[in-house]
Structures are given as C-alpha cells and as structure tokens.
Chain A
C-alpha cells in the first residue's frame, strides 16, 4: 500500500513537471468546462483535446434540450483526462471506456448517462 502511494505521488509530480514545460500553448489553466451541447453543432475532438488541461477539475458536457444527442464526438478515442478531475458529467459519452491511463484519484461524482460505456476502467482502480 505504501508503495502504491509513493508511486502515485511521484507519477503526479512527474506529470506536473512535464506539463510545466509543455503547457505554454493555452489550456493549462482551465479548471472547469460546462458545455451545453444544444448550443453547438457537431464537433469531432482530437484524442488529445483534453490532454494539456492538467488542472481540469470540473467537466460537464450536457444537453439542456431533450432529444438532442451528444454532439461531441471522439472518433480517435480519448487519450487522457486530468487526474485533478472531481466532477465528470458527460451525457452521451461516446466511448466504451474512460482513458486507460486515467487515475480517478480525486473523483467525487461521475455521471455518464446515455453513454456507450461498458466498462469504466480496464484493470483495478483505487477509488
């Protein structure tokens, strides 16, 4: 157990460190995104769209109008999600699982209604 903890801490600091050097292009400061998909047309996100948002703690992709399907697509999957994430709500999340390297260490609420998720994570996760 202690070993695990150490690993987590060092992994965390490694990511933080590497992002400080690569995070110059914008999105590194984003802590929260609430997107009402009924207000946009379809978008296809790249698998790395959320990669640099290493501070992201609140993510809600929702639909204020009944009957509108999720318009956010991930044709190439999703590579990563911030470990800082506390709240994840994604109506109609289009993939069958969350990114395999996503460690939901801080998550307090997850809501993936009408999604295609079959299995949240591959392997065991400590919650």
Chain B
C-alpha cells in the first residue's frame, strides 16, 4: 500500500497544468532514450533561456518516475553551485536515493563501500536542471556507480557541456504557431483560443514572442483583461523596438507594473531574495513598507515570479532582465544604483577605489 501511495504521489501531474506542446516533446525524449543502449542512459536537454527546458524535464520526470526505484529532480544546479552548496546537495541526493536520513559523505567522491554497493543495485531516475559546468555533474553523481537501467536527464543552455556528458542531446524546439497561440490564449484569455475580435492582435503578439513560451506567458498575462485600445497601443509600441529580442518583451512585462510598490518587490526578489523562503521575504518586504501580499499576487498573475516549495522563485531570464533594469539606473556611477549584489561592484562602492585583485 505504501509503495502504491508513493508511486501515485510521484506521478501526480497537478503541478503541470497549463502546459502546451509538452507531450510531443516528451515523446521525442523517449525516442532518444530508446536508441541509447548503455546501462545508464544520459540525455541532455538543450535550448535557449525561456524555451521550456525545465518544464519539459519536469514533465518527463513525472511521466516515467513510477518505473524507477529512486527518483530525484534537482533544480537550479548553477545557482546552488554559485552558493557553494554542491556537496550538501550531493549528500541530500544520496540520502534520498538510498532512503537514509542525514547521510554525510563528506569527501569529493562517493567513498564508503556500503553506499557504492547499495547505489549500484538501484535503478534510478535523476534530473539535474540547469548545469553549466561538467564538474557540477561529476561532483553530484558518479555514473559507473548507479544501477543498470538508470536514466539521468541534464538540462543546460550550454551545448558544449552536454556534449561532454550526455549520450544524446534533445534540442528543444520553439513552439509552433498553433501551440504558441494556445499558450498565449491560456494567459491572455484564460481559454484555449482568442475571441474572434482579438484574433489578429493575438497573432501579431505571438509573432513578437517567436515561439518562446516564457515570453508568450509574460506577454499574454500582461494583456489579460485589457481592452482593444490598450492592446493596439501596446503592440504598436513593441513594433517600434528596432531589434526586438526576448529581453525587450520581458521588460515590457515589467514596465507594465504601474505601481512602484510591485516593481520594487520584483527588483528586490531578483537582486536579493530569489530562492528564499516566502515567509521570510514577506516579513522583510512588509517591514520595508511594501504591500507584499498584493505585490506577490500581481507578480504571480503576470508570470513574473512563482512560489514553489514555499520558496520565491523566478525564471533566470526574468532575473537577468530585472538586474539589467537596476544596472541601467546608473551606468556612470555605481553608487547611484539602488541595489548592489555583485561583489566587485560592492567592493568598489565601499572602498571608493579602483578595483585591483579582488578575486581570490
């Protein structure tokens, strides 16, 4: 009974509603898997930011997790690695795979024989999301040690990294126009199709987003519930960008937050609080005098942040866009910038000196 519950729990797709075009992409990954014959099969998922690598990896994970004895999805490896948390993550991973609490390996390699012995008998499914360095992969898992029949999925923006790791690489395609229209409509109209009166405008909008799901979601949710006039004026404005790229589109989603309160919350999250506990972030931001509850619900509705596992999360591309907004507050003098997160910049501001040899 326990096993059944666990399996049901694992396979639950409830987190994955509102997805478009994912099934056909999962099918392609399955095809790639079927042509690899090694004991442990490693599949790379590659594509530009916002194209849906993580979403597809997650959906794939849930679709087959019931067939494995141990399953783990490790998100944001790059970020965790920057925080110096790779060893903790590896310990957590092994603890969960071996269903043993507080396992501490402590060494850079998976040492103790009892761990090796148990691991190599298990058929596991592992997703390593957002890897940008081969060493991260090597630190987390030693492929020869995991059981035959195991599958490892690695997502990355860097194809070179995947070439060094994976047996096969799946390149995530852009959404086709039909899928794009559907995803856009889900956000802009809360339905699968645009109303007739908005068809043409919707097609203009999806052409700007060039099949990028993140851009489609941000653009769609920002136009949600707005009148034709608003749509026309906004789309005209977008057209005036000389070389429209995905950042510009995301930036439009940010600029559309009329209220400075919500903008500040978004920028604080992007610069400082991404990945922190919701309660903690709310307490601090409430303390800053922001209306955090309202701000959070607006940002979630606009697809600019999301809450997962009680943590405040946002897409990499949105974080990059937000940090760019802050950088542009002042290009000539750092201290005129409202938020500082880069060690190099802070050093310069605090010491008021030219920076020399700061990195150790």
Residues in chain A within 8 A of chain B (CB atoms): 25-41, 43, 45, 49, 55, 57-58, 60, 64-66, 86-87, 106-109
Contact of A58 among B83, B284, B358 (CB under 8 A): B284
Given A27-B349, A32-B339, A64-B84, are A41 and B357 neighbors across the interface (CB < 8 Å)? Answer: yes
Residues of B within 8 A of A65 (CB): 84
A49 contacts which of B330, B337, B350 (Cβ < 8 Å)? Answer: B350
- Interface bracket on B: 35 or more
Looking at the assembled complex, report how far the CB atom of B293 sits from the nearest CB atom of chain A, in whole angstroms.
Answer: 16
Q: Is the CB of B360 within 8 A of A32?
A: no
In this complex, the member of A33, A60, A65, A109 whose beta carbon has the largest number of chain B beta carbons within 10 angstroms is: A33
Q: Which 6 A-B pairs give the minimum distances between C-beta atoms?
A: A26-B335, A108-B287, A27-B335, A39-B343, A86-B287, A65-B84
Q: Say yes or no: A41-B336 contact (C-beta < 8 A), given A29-B329, A32-B272.
A: no
- B351: A residues at CB distance < 8 A: 43, 45, 49
Q: Which residues of A contact B286 (CB under 8 A)?
A: 108
Q: Within the assembled complex, what's the spacing in Å between the Cα atoms of A106 and B286?
A: 11
Q: CA separation between A22 and B268, bound complex, in Å?
A: 27
- The interface residues of chain B lying within 8 Å CB-to-CB of A58 are 268, 272, 284, 288
Cβ–Cβ contact B84 & A33, under 8 A? no
Given known contacts A26-B333, A108-B284, is B271 in contact with A64 (CB within 8 Å)?
Answer: no
Q: Residue A41 contacts which of B83, B283, B346, B360 (CB distance < 8 angstroms)?
A: B360
B residues less than 8 Å from A34 (CB atoms): 271-272, 340-341
Q: Taking the complex as formed, is B230 at the interface, i.e. its CB lies under 8 A from any CB of chain A?
A: no
Chain B residues lying within 8 Å of A40, measured Cβ to Cβ, are 343, 347, 358-360
How many Cβ-Cβ contacts under 8 Å join chain A to chain B? 93
Assess A29 versus B357: contact at CB under 8 Å? Given A36-B343, A45-B350, A49-B350: no
Known interface pairs A108-B283, A109-B283; A60-B337 also in contact (CB < 8 Å): no
Q: Is B99 an interface residue (CB 8 A)?
A: no
Q: List 14 A-B contacts (CB under 8 A).
A: A26-B336, A26-B352, A27-B335, A29-B337, A32-B338, A33-B341, A34-B341, A40-B343, A41-B357, A43-B350, A45-B351, A49-B351, A108-B283, A108-B286
Q: Could you say which of A26, A43, A106 contacts B347, with CB atoms under 8 Å apart?
A: A43
- B343 CB contacts on chain A under 8 angstroms: 35-37, 39-40
Does the CB pair B349–A26 fall under 8 Å? yes
**Distance (whole angstroms) from the CB of B15 to the closest CB of chain A:** 29
- Alpha-carbon distance between A14 and B358 when the two chains are bound, in angstroms: 37
Query: How close is A57's CB to chain B, nearest CB, in angstroms?
Result: 5
Say yes or no for B334: interface residue by CB 8 A criterion.
yes
Is A60 in contact with B358, judged by CB distance below 8 angstroms?
Answer: no
Chain A CB within 10 Å, residue with most, of B280, B329, B330, B341: B341
CB-CB under 8 A from A39, the residues of chain B are: 343, 359-360
Q: Is the CB of A109 within 8 A of B287?
A: yes
> With a CB–CB cut-off of 8 A, which chain B residues contact A108?
283-284, 286-287
Contacts A57-B288, A65-B84, A86-B287 known; A29 to B336 CB distance under 8 Å?
A: yes
Inter-chain contact A87/B284, CB cutoff 8 Å: yes
Which residues of A lie under 8 Å from residue B287 when comparing CB positions? Answer: 86-87, 106-109
**Measured CA separation A86–B282 after assembly (Å):** 12
Q: What's the Cα separation between A87 and B290 when bound, in Å?
A: 14
Given A32-B272, A32-B340, the answer on whether A64 and B82 have CB atoms closer than 8 Å is yes
Q: Bound complex: CA of A39 vs CA of B341, how far in Å?
A: 11
Apart from A28-B336, A32-B338, what are 9 other A-B pairs with CB-CB below 8 Å?
Answer: A31-B339, A32-B271, A33-B341, A34-B272, A34-B341, A40-B359, A43-B347, A49-B351, A64-B85
Q: Closest B-chain residue to A61, C-beta based?
A: B346
B272 and A30 contact, CB distance less than 8 A: no
Which one of B82, B330, B350, B358 has the highest number of Cβ atoms from chain A below 10 Å of its Cβ?
Answer: B350
CB distance from B196 to the nearest CB of A (A): 47
C-alpha spacing A106/B284, complex, angstroms: 10
Q: A33 — which chain B residues lie within 8 A by C-beta?
A: 339-341, 346, 349
Contact A26 B334 (CB under 8 A): yes
A42: nearest residue on chain B (CB-CB)? B360
The interface residues of chain A lying within 8 Å CB-to-CB of B268 are 32, 58
Q: Which residue of A lies closest to B360 (CB)?
A: A41
Chain B residues with Cβ under 8 A from A49's Cβ?
Answer: 350-351
